Structure 1
């Protein structure tokens, strides 16, 4: 088995969104598709590796946020089989609610950011439950139910490596700062902690983050990230207790995160990448939503 990371150059930036092409023998598998806006880059990346996109027969969706699976419907329409969490499958077959929700948020930036979001033919979509495995030649890809960022989230294990989607956060390859992925509406710090503990107990040798790349210090990363999830939750809880809401809350949370990043040497250019992959204003909204629904 060979793993090929492909940088999708989201919005012209490197190290924002990755897709992973997996050699499984006769066919190819893809973990993460990225959004429709980066589909041409993904197809070119596959060709650059010496493969035809038509050889991609299996597509694994970690969750249905558009930066991860916006192009999944296109692949299904080409005849690939798409695998996803039970809660995600209906939205792949009929993405109208996803599109409507995203349109309200992104308005005239919708097409530029996310491109076309196509429905997946129902017969091309396979539901995977926790622990379900797909055998592709000698390669076995196993779904791991990992809520916390989203209730419809799978990580995928192949042997002793794991493709984590958003459940292990966002980190640039050369940086020690880890950004907590907490976009609304399903952030849950308790579920997050349980999922991270589960990944920790699996003793993976490597993690592959969608945002962004390979992590070899698995135990250290998961431990630090669990602490960061709690830290960000505490930060929003404290800001809410101070009476901050709306834009004031977003600005305060963004400033707090920028200060943490600055302490470990994150440059302005790299901070722009962090914000491009995992916007702090949106994360503030996601954490605040949990706090409002589940007050202490």
Structure 2
């Protein structure tokens, strides 16, 4: 076994999926109620054995998993669902209503990911298999799961993607926010001696206004903590909300200032690097090496340009 689960208290445990050998990038969570147990996020199929090993380390059997929940269908969150599901014979896959058909038939999902990752798709995300339709439960906004002594409430939270849900857990007074309320970068990944939050604006459905509306809505739940898929816990939750609002507004502002049709994404990526270094310096962290988050910087630049090119095209029809 490559690692062990981290007990976060409140019946929640964090599994470091160590995708591509990277510690602290992507996590899955085990949430235990009095009668049922949920696994939130699965990563790619490469993470399947890590999940099974960690479940065993917690004294659980695969038959103890009642729900496999994915916040959205980007492959670093849900790519391995169809692959690992046969190991969980009692589990129902729970997702956003917009996500269900893509889990059942991932053809378009794979095609879209191939456009971004090209020949590296299988190397990065492994085998992507369909989920049997009878094992998929799509929960609409406000619907719930009862784990026994704690309730998971699902909220429609677009901004990062239109097929994104966030899950409020009454047992921990926390919210599992996927990629909607920033990425939490930790020392295990970056090599820095601090954690920090920056937004995810990756292709192709990033929506600034939807992010603002989602954060405003989640703030009203008065949660105490945020459980990020990437990676770990932010307390208090108010910090994650405030940080997301500020950095998304900043990314949008400097991207619009720079934009011109045909702008190379590399130019915007360099501007994002400048922003991150300046922002960290403002908080007393003088960092030059951004290699641990370079992939996200590139995707964020591409995502912002996708939005602005689309806006430009619409305005010039």
TM-score (norm 2): 0.85
Partner Cα separation in structure 1 for residue 93 and residue 35 of structure 2: 17
Task: Tell me whether 132-141 or 121-130 shows the greater mean CA deviation.
Answer: 132-141
2:269 matched residue in structure 1: 250
Partner Cα separation in structure 1 for residue 260 and residue 236 of structure 2: 36
1:234 matched residue in structure 2: 253
1:120 matched residue in structure 2: 131
Partner SS, residue 98 of structure 2: coil
Q: Which runs of 4+ in 1 moved over 6 A?
A: none
Match of 1:64 among 53, 59, 73: 73
Number of residue pairs matched by the alignment = 293
Match of 1:30 among 32, 39, 42: 39
CA spacing shift, 1:204–1:259, aligned 2, 3 Å: same
Query: Which aligned pairs between 1:41-190 and structure 2 lie closer than 5 A?
Result: 41-77=50-86, 78-79=88-89, 80-159=91-170, 160-173=173-186, 175=194, 177-190=196-209
TM-score (norm 1): 0.91
* Match status 1:191 vs 2:210: yes
Unaligned runs of 5+ in 2: 1-9, 188-193
Partner Cα separation in structure 1 for residue 261 and residue 109 of structure 2: 33
Partner Cα separation in structure 1 for residue 146 and residue 203 of structure 2: 33
Do the aligned residues in 2 keep the contact of 1:148 with 1:189 (CA within 8 Å)? yes
In the TM superposition, residue 281 of structure 1 has moved relative to its aligned partner by 1.2
RMSD between aligned alpha carbons?
A: 2.1
CA spacing shift, 1:242–1:81, aligned 2, 3 Å: closer
Do the aligned residues in 2 keep the contact of 1:76 with 1:124 (CA within 8 Å)? no
2:14 matched residue in structure 1: 5
Do the aligned residues in 1 keep the contact of 2:186 with 2:196 (CA within 8 Å)? no
Partner Cα separation in structure 2 for residue 242 and residue 262 of structure 1: 32
Do the aligned residues in 1 keep the contact of 2:32 with 2:147 (CA within 8 Å)? no
Match of 1:280 among 263, 282, 297: 297
In the TM superposition, residue 134 of structure 1 has moved relative to its aligned partner by 1.1
Do the aligned residues in 2 keep the contact of 1:76 with 1:121 (CA within 8 Å)? no
Partner SS, residue 185 of structure 2: coil
Residue by residue over 1:206-246, the C-alpha shift from the partner in whole angstroms, topping out at 9 and shown as x without a partner, is 11011110111211221121110110111211111597333
CA spacing shift, 1:51–1:65, aligned 2, 3 Å: same
Do the aligned residues in 2 keep the contact of 1:161 with 1:207 (CA within 8 Å)? yes
